[in-house]
Structure 1
Amino acid sequence: MINVVLLGAGNVATHLFKAFTNAEEVTVKQWYNRNLRTIEKHKNKVAITDNLEDLVAADIYILAVSDDAVADLSSQLPFENRLVVHTSGSVSLYAIDKKHKRGVFYPLQTFSKAANVDFSDVPLCLEALKNKEDLPILKKLAKAIGSQPHKVNSDQRAALHLAAVFVNNFTNQIYRLAHEITESQGAEFEILKPLIKETARKLDEVSPFLAQTGPAKRNDKKTIKKHLKALTDEHHKDVYELLTKSIQQTHGTFTKPKAKPNKK
């Protein structure tokens, strides 16, 4: 049995609590948050506290807090030489106070409190300062909630977090722009959802490079010109041109515009 103390009450903490509660090999001994009202509804399932001095002994202390809060909160913990981990993709392992055994338990997924999460679909990126001592228990915790653990170093984790911004945050913004485009003509965005799903599903079979299609890859200048003419929002046009150029550079179809002759 792995005993856990959870600190924080945001999206990640909320979903980890649900997963840990449903795991046979995990016991959440305590849940801390500085605003007790946020977690008060769970007091019948777990001991809750807003006082760091009241923290109980556990195998792992998980700081599921904002990136900026990791260093300060870890320094305030009233004990030392216990395994303390954070859940951030971008925060250094060394942000955790050196009086602790330090680690990272980073679930690489997008979390919203209202949306259910199946942790069997959530890769857990793990890092520990003392791999032989602490990594095994982090792997065991990941597997206990059905996740696939991945040992990564700090540079790899930072690269994964950066890449995640592209595939999740930026992609979602593209969906928003597409929604604005369909709305402008009274078309239904819902009609695009099968295409969105197939685009993601195809990556199970081929690389993003091989999966690329469309006018930019084909260097279909006529269609590109037609699309740009149809875009009345300058922001939409800027994004279209930027991504078209990126695709063309990737696939070798980009040609620099000819320089205009100097007029004397």
Structure 2
Amino acid sequence: MIKVVLLGSGNVAYHLAQALKSSEGVELIQRYSRNGNNDAYFDVSIPVTFDLEHLKKADVYIIAVKDDAIAGLSEKLPPVDGLVVHTSGSIGIKTLYKGLKKGVLYPVQTFSINQEIDFKKVPLVIETAVKDDLPILQSLACSLSEHVFELNSSQRKKLHVSAVFANNFSNYMFACAGDLCKEFELPFDILRPLIMETAKKVQTMDPHNAQTGPARRNDLAVIEKHIEMLQGEKKEIYKLLSKAISKAYQLKE
């Protein structure tokens, strides 16, 4: 049985807590919360401490906090024998305080507390500073997810920037579309099936082959009409993306 202490109270910590509680071969023995934020969402059966000096002895300590808080929190930890891992995609393993057994457990997914998720389907990227520490992290990761990948810090950072394009930037495009619907007094619900179909296609198709639209066709007349309807940043974003898409497919053809 792998004993785990979870440090954090945000979105990632919430979903990790749920996954850890339901995983065989894993025991979530404690959670550390710095300020009590979001504690009401967590399973009340998980023991909580607000004092790092009262951390229980565990095999793995998971730091699930904001990127800029990882280094400081790891430095404040009392002496622990277990493996200390963070959950960030963009932070290197060496950011963790010297002297600790270091690792990374990075879930490649977007998390919101109010949105349930099947953690078994979430890809987990793992790394340890010392090869001897890899088996326990591998075992923990495999108990949480069906998709586990071992990547080093450099590879993980490259994966993270790819994920920003796939998730954060695409979601901002949805937000822009939502803003335009409000501006034009249109219901955003009309676009939801389109968004779902776009995401579904790339599960089985190369994204380049799935591309459609006026920029893909290099339909300059439609593009110009759209540009005339837009203002400010949205106009500039439309121009930039349309130019990039047109260029990419003109080069191919």
TM (norm. structure 1) is 0.90
Deviation at 1:13, TM superposition (A): 0.6
Distance 1:236 1:36, change over 3 A: closer
Distance 1:38 1:202, change over 3 A: closer
SS in 2 for 1:105: strand
Counterpart of 2:204 in structure 1 is: 205
Q: In the alignment, does 2:249 pair up with 1:251?
A: yes
Listed as ranges, the gaps of 5+ residues in structure 2 are none
What letter matches 1:186 in structure 2? E
Q: In the alignment, does 2:133 pair up with 1:134?
A: yes
Q: Residue deviations 1:192-240, cap 9 Å, x none? A: 1111111111112221111111111111111111111222x22221110
Confirm or deny: 8 A CA contact 2:60 2:83 kept in the other structure. yes
Listed as ranges, the gaps of 5+ residues in structure 1 are 255-264
Identity among equivalent positions (%) equals: 45
Which is greater in Rg?
A: 1
Counterpart of 1:237 in structure 2 is: 235
Counterpart of 1:64 in structure 2 is: 64
Q: In the alignment, does 2:53 pair up with 1:53?
A: yes
Q: List aligned pairs for 1:81-230, cutoff 5 A.
A: 81-131=81-131, 133-230=132-229
Judge which range, 175-184 or 109-118, deviates more: 175-184
Judge which range, 96-105 or 144-153, deviates more: 144-153
SS in 1 for 2:212: coil
SS in 2 for 1:85: strand
SS in 2 for 1:194: helix
Runs of 4+ in structure 1 deviating by more than 4 angstroms, as ranges, are: 40-44
Deviation at 1:24, TM superposition (A): 2.2
Counterpart of 1:26 in structure 2 is: 26
Distance 1:38 1:226, change over 3 A: closer
Deviation at 1:81, TM superposition (A): 4.4
In the alignment, the residues of structure 1 paired with residue 98 and residue 88 of structure 2 have an alpha-carbon distance, to the nearest angstrom, of 17
Q: Residue deviations 1:166-191, cap 9 Å, x none? A: 11111111111111222222222111
Judge which range, 134-143 or 108-117, deviates more: 134-143
Judge which range, 105-114 or 68-77, deviates more: 68-77
In the alignment, the residues of structure 1 paired with residue 232 and residue 175 of structure 2 have an alpha-carbon distance, to the nearest angstrom, of 15
Confirm or deny: 8 A CA contact 1:32 1:52 kept in the other structure. yes
What letter matches 1:32 in structure 2? Y
Distance 1:53 1:13, change over 3 A: same
